[in-house]
Structure 1
Amino acid sequence: MPKAIIVCKSVSHGNTRKVAAVIGEVLGARVVDPADIQASDLTGYDLVGFGSGIFTGHFHQELREFVRSLPSGQAGAAFVFATSGFPDSGLTRFSRPLVKLVEEKGFRVIGTFSCRAFDTFAPFAIAGGIRKGRPDATDLDAARTFATTLRTRPATS
């Protein structure tokens, strides 16, 4: 199994942290906030995960800034994950820009994962939010399955 770490920004409802914890458990990975890690701390990991909730169609600014701060020439594999009130699909796939940025830093992205999550972004806050109760057990099982597939993919090529 590759040596893994997960860089996760979870703020509003703890949804993304729940998903990160499940993925981390399967991979035997430590989950850290971008503010609590330096770029040099990623040295020695075969697999690095990057995840956050989605805010107006984008990953959390602090996570994006952390990835931008990484020096080019990173080695190893990476994955990207998110929680959102809406699916990561169609022309507005919110994962694409972060995947591209991670790849520009030298990582080989071997997978992406997203699931629905409780969302109280305005105007949904007026109605008490959408996707209440998400991520649920089915979502967390899907995250577990995703993590299991990461273990079987080669971290280097």
Structure 2
Amino acid sequence: MKAKIAIVYVSTHHGNTKKVVEAMSEERACDLYPADRAKDVDFSEYDVVGFASGVYFQSLSPAIIQLAKDIELDARQRTFIVYTAGIDFKNYAASVERILREKAGTYVGRYSCRGYDTWGPFGLFGGIGRKHPTDKELLKAREFIKALQGSAD
């Protein structure tokens, strides 16, 4: 039996993160939940739970951080992180990784890629990462979820 996967996400501005999690869901059936609708979801029915976000002020969305803190996990469940960033040069998910590693279950990794970013000063000159996520990055996202499937089934 295949693992049941849920991904909770925050994707504002240009929908970069939503594009990535939708690509993952096309590769491997996943239930996608915007973070503002995830409070009433029973995540105990899932084998794998992903947390996805754009990067805001060099961190994942506060809503994703809070959900990672609040979610109850058991030993059989796996977790992962997905994020998009205008400039993807460091691990912006470190704080959420720490939270998930302290919980029951197993943290199995993260996928990140660039995303189109026009926030703040970037908007003054048309933004950065204009054509991101690219088809190649979406393919890598599909490969990530496919490899995750093998570790979770």
Q: Give the TM-score, by structure 1 length.
A: 0.89
Conserved? CA contact 2:114–2:129, under 8 Å: yes
1:1-157 alignment, distance < 5 Å: 1-38=2-39, 41-71=42-72, 73=74, 75-89=76-90, 93-154=91-152
1:26 Cα deviation from its structure 2 partner: 1.9
Conserved? CA contact 2:44–2:73, under 8 Å: no
- Mapped partners of 2:34, 2:72: distance in 1: 18
Please report the RMSD computed on the Cα atoms of aligned residues, expressed in angstroms. Answer: 1.7
- Structure 1 stretches of at least 4 aligned residues deviating more than 4 Å after TM superposition: 72-75
Instruction: Tell me which amino acid in the other structure corresponds to 1:118.
Output: Y
C-alpha spacing 1:105/1:88, structure 2 compared with 1 (3 Å): farther
Structure 2 unaligned segments of length 5 or more: list them.
none
Conserved? CA contact 1:72–1:104, under 8 Å: no
Conserved? CA contact 2:24–2:145, under 8 Å: yes
Q: Give the TM-score, by structure 2 length.
A: 0.91
Conserved? CA contact 1:10–1:16, under 8 Å: yes
SS at match of 2:53: strand
Structure 1 unaligned segments of length 5 or more: list them.
none
Percent identity between the two aligned chains: 27
Conserved? CA contact 1:80–1:95, under 8 Å: yes
1:147 Cα deviation from its structure 2 partner: 1.0
- Mapped partners of 1:20, 1:50: distance in 2: 10
Deviates more, 1:93-102 or 1:110-119: 93-102
